[in-house]
Homo-oligomer: A and B are copies of this chain.
Amino acid sequence: MADLIYRVNMSNLSFKIEEVPSKWMGLGGRGLTSTIVAEEVDPECHPLGPNNKMVFAPGLLSGTSASNSGRNSLGAKSPLTGGIKESNVGGTSAGIFSKLGVKALIIEGLPKDENTFYQLHVTKNNVEFIPVPELVGKDNYAVLDAMMAKYDKKVAVMSIGRIGEMRMNIANVSVKDPSGKLRSHGRGGLGAVMGSKKIKCITVDAADYKEVTIADPEKFKEASKIFTKALQENPISGQGLPAFGTNVLVNILNEAGGLPTRNFREGTWEHAENICGETMAENIKARGGKTTHGCHAGCVIQCSQVYNDKEGKYLTSGFEYETIWALGAHLGIQDLDLIAKMDGLMDDLGVDSIETSVVLGLAVDAGILAYGDGKKAYELLSHDIPMGTPMGRILGAGTHILGKSFGLVRVPTVKGQGIPAYEPRAVKGQGITYATTPMGADHTAGYAVATNILNSGGHVDPLKKEGQVELARNLQIATAAVDSTGMCLFVAFAALDDAKCLPALVDMINARFGCALTIDDVVNLGKTILKREHEFNIKAGLGKADDRLPEFMKYETLPPHNVTWDFSGEEIDAFWNF
């Protein structure tokens, strides 16, 4: 049976099930969410008002046995950036949506009754609207527990905590992963959009949990094998990431002088060793955690981990470099266990661990806490933010709003979104991605670190301007396409360095749908998506002046390489010449 569009209207608690219009047929994941948002959402609407929509869509290969194909996309107009947003996640939702035959779930409108939160229960040809007063004021794990008590453990659960209820910009949408922990549609404040629509959680039950149909199973199997081998043989996705997780990057970036330290004042941190991937792996091994762990079924990279405290008690999983960097070098916490505890708490609260950690680091500049004061940082995170105190409201509104509230000049954001983990002056290709991606400062949108620092797909000198615009452009185009397949971004390392990888990926798509796409088609899909998103942003009011890094990076020199951000506006704007 063909996939269908499930369309929910919160204004009158109704739903419709629609056939997929032909124009959306070849799209999945980000390609589909961004297309639907661009077609159906007024770019000038208020992100928390009745005219914004949330669109969930699994990737083209989600629900199949293809390695690392379990990413689900969520799109909307972002309350954080004011532009279009796509944020994809591992966990179980992509697979379940695909198996249920849901091409996209579109959620429109706002309920008239402002005091009731709902659970949406999505099953074959049905959506139930269940008031959940008992879950109001609860955070993610409590919601998850309640749903697991009620349904089969395989039911997909997407939820918000108190932060999302309060419509804070740092709110994410959390998703149950295969081990019962949480993954996040992290960036862009999409949890606030869910909160505005008074949806506490969404459960999706695919009943028999069968795999999706494959048009040419033999071809699929063969391509899948090649693809998996490419991932496993790549030194980054096959060795570095499984051994140390993404946190392998602390030492790498520190050595490269691109680890933003003390709110982007320096490119190296003297205490990097305390928080690096190697230290993390040692702790995990000594305490009975797991160094390898997948965020979704079928992951062969296993960059996640389970990190326990000294007593062997669970602290967190999905413990990522960007969060560790922000609470570490940026905010100054040297205690990796405390960082892990805060990471686990952020999962439960349902906040973007990047935005939240970046804003806490900026709070040092605002005089709210001292550099390295983990105790105060924990108090702000565990008390002020979830209680919605005035201080919590400022921090919960994100980095840009903290800067505005305290009259700060050194505010590390692009399009209002906090800059993560890679110093743009010292990793200039990444800087171009931060400046230009329609998503606001987002490292995943075009991960130039790969070629600037990790020598994936060749090498472009991170400190020089030459080649960076082209690099960021090619990577963003490729990423827009990859984000449409349901693939984890980390397939990019193999795709960049192994000539067999990308053809195998395209072959899997062709085998799944019985079509005959070429690599050029996929590249063109990436271009189309990127331009569509860019056009939405321009209509929403995000123009050239928003494709810029913070001004201070132009006149402040970053040690140790003593570099500035030296791209002119025209040079940056040339990104869009394709």
Interface residues on A, range: 35 or more
A48-B409 contact in complex given A539-B545, A545-B540, C-beta closer than 8 Å: yes
Question: Is A167 an interface residue when CB atoms closer than 8 A count as contact?
Answer: yes
Q: Mark A191-232, 1 if CB is under 8 A from B, else 0.
A: 010011000000000000000000000000000000000000
| Whole-angstrom CA separation of A49 from B43 in the bound complex | 30
* CB-CB contacts below 8 Å: A382-396 with B: 389-391, 393-394, 396
A397–B400 Cα distance when bound, in Å, is 12
The number of times this chain is found in the oligomer is: 2
Contacts of A408 in B (CB 8 A): 48
Contact among B44, B544, B546 for A548, CB-based, below 8 A: B44
When chains A and B are docked, how far (Å) is the Cα of A46 from the Cα of B408?
10
Given A51-B551, A551-B44: A407 and B196 interface contact (C-beta under 8 Å): yes
Task: Give the shortest distance, in Å, between A76 (CB) and chain B (any CB).
Answer: 14
In the complex, what residues of B have CB within 8 A of residue A192's CB?
A: 407
Q: Report A79-116 residues with CB < 8 Å from chain B CB.
A: 79
> Which residues of chain B are within 8 angstroms of A513 by Cβ–Cβ distance?
none
List, in ascending order, chain B residues with CB within 8 A of A448's CB. none
Report if A530 contacts B (CB, 8 A): no
How far does the Cβ of A122 sit from chain B's closest Cβ, in whole Å? 26
Fill in one digit per residue for A530-560: 1 if any B CB lies within 8 Å of its CB, else 0. 0000000011111111101011100100000
List the B side residues contacting A538 at CB < 8 Å: 543
Task: Write the residues of chain A forming the contact surface with B, with a CB cutoff of 8 angstroms.
Answer: 43-46, 48-51, 79, 166-169, 192, 195-196, 389-391, 393-394, 396-397, 401, 404-409, 538-546, 548, 550-552, 555, 569
Question: Per a CB cutoff under 8 Å, which of B169, B393, B543, B552 touches A541?
Answer: B543
The listed residue (B49, B397, B407, B541) touching A405 by CB distance below 8 A is B397
Whether A405 contacts B409 by the Cβ 8 Å rule is no
Contacts of A401 on B, CB cut-off 8 Å? 397, 401, 404-405
**Complex alpha-carbon distance, A567 and B409, angstroms:** 37
